Structure 1
Amino acid sequence: MRNNNKLSNVFVKIYLVGKSDLTQEKKIEFIKAEKDNIIKELHKCLREFGKIKTKYDYQLLSFYLQVLQDNIILFKDLEYSNFVVDIVDKLNEGEKYSVESDMIEIDKSLPISKYKELCALVPDFRTHQGDSCEFDYLFDYKSNYSEDVLVDPIFGKIQSEFVYDFKKGIRSIVLSLIIAYHLYRKYGELLKQGNVCICVIPSSTKPRCELRFQELINKVSYLLGIENGFELITRSTDRLDSREQCKKNIDVLEGVSFSSKLKGKTVILLDDVSTMGTSVSKFNDKLKEVGAHKVQSIVLAKTYYVRGNNLPMPELIELNKSIYNLL
């Protein structure tokens, strides 16, 4: 399978490289290749300390600077040492904004515990409570229904650089960490009970489903030590895309097979975009029908409607930005 991972945040790149199993030489090669971006972002980061408005801003910026301190040995040949004093000073200046981390204690036996510092920056997912089911979701999705409301540029980026890219099989390597940590934070006790698998609502064709979800599911299941259920819900026949399917009133379950192995399991069900929640609801009902013990649903982006939204627009914008900026 081709590698379609991407990551825009240079500080998160450094963090992940520092945590990786790469040799020291390979890590230094990476730093050299990213030198211009790192120096540019470092200057920007130091300037931003003078504009801190929230505790989250401080937590994010101090994470960036701490990452650079922790990996300073990688910069020994890049005239980086001049920044060390500035970094320490800025961190000390920002102490008035510091807060105790909201991050819960992560079981050290799980691979996700290796990334606890980054996990602490992941905002809570929100929960959509529909008439027939509920699901957690990450982003607000701008569609024809909301393009005159979601006018901030961040929503255009989420639409084109997250959702559209995801459908092409291009995703941030941090996405699996964000999903895994949310699941651990919210459903940790449920996961500890065991017999848990993570599955997806299949895309319109098998190749599309593999392109979008297979690697993501592999990583999330590994990070949490749960069963990879990618093959437990499968599509045997291709279908129309979501819009055409709705127009022609075709059942979303048509051509979908559910493995008998789902019986008795707690199922984490993942979908990319939800508009009205119809597909999520029908798959929830079907999973319970085939004997699943419990179903928890996660959606990457939910179509935004003014009705039902309980956040002021400035807060909604900042929330979406805080997640997007980690990718």
Structure 2
Amino acid sequence: MRSLPSWAPRLVERWPPVTPSVDVAAVLADRLGLPAGSCVPVWSARAQARSTVHFLGTADRPGLCRWVVKQPRTNWTQDDVASPLAAAREFAGLLRLAGHFTARGGPARVPTPVALLPELEGFATAYVPGPAVSDLLHTRSVLSPAALLDGVGRAAVFLRGLHELEALPARTLDLAQEAGRVRVRLQQRLAPAGLPVPPAVARTLAAVPSRTVTTCQVWLHGDCTPANVLLPEGRTVVGIDIDLQGTGAPEEDLARFVAFTTGSVPFLVDAVLPERLRLHRPLVGRFLECYGSGVCAPVFELRLLQQLAGRWLRLRQLARLHGRPALLPLRLQTVDAQLQSLLLASARRLARATWT
């Protein structure tokens, strides 16, 4: 069994390998009507928090991955995203999305559905070779951001296509009331960790004027992060791990992607740069430009503030998991400076958007 190739998403390399208790390759071969023994594992199965993933190919070409079998872990819980769907429901959603993107045309798509595998509580799709947007979030992007900006733009194109799945009734909300709810949520999330809501953020939220805005409603990705957008060769962009569990404003998906992207290593330096030179600014601009019209700027910033607060807590948690405890204070200080900088930048944009 081979190791992962250089072009496989690096995130997969960090997932621990597991030994399946069932012959997944045999089950898939039987479902596809292939001879016994013709379907083989290409790389070790990998366990992540929300699912176990198997990479399979054929015995005559053992180095070529053709299928992925995913087994969702429906008992997994997380405070900022819904628990995974059962395999049958996720596969049904994937079939719907595949038909939608095929009819729509363009570069955006989802992995090709292959088969539901009830005996495994999983399903199979065609393998998509290529990196994820998260693979572009490295320090080299600071000096050469072209590839990252292109990947972020392609991710926005995918989200736009996803959000056009079905026209849903629009919803109105009062910005002042929504800002008040966001302020309470930030306090509720940050206070248990001993983190204050930055005073400038609190003041901005308190000053948001009462104004009614209308937001369209869409089927949401549910966990739109840079790791869930793949970039095959050419201009194709592929979204994965879409659950279609809920509807809401498109700004919810947009804000989650931006929070996970800007709250990463290449943007650590933003905390000490003047605002006009901060690296996250062109990235956010490219992302929203490529998504296109219909984004309500105040709603986007309100959703982004909530996502950034969650990202702040998660990054502090990850900092504590690293070795070398003597460096923990420095790690926490770096995370705090970066996320406070992003929160303040979002608050400034919110202030401009609500008073123009």
Question: Normalized against structure 1, the TM-score is what?
Answer: 0.26
Question: Normalized against structure 2, the TM-score is what?
Answer: 0.24
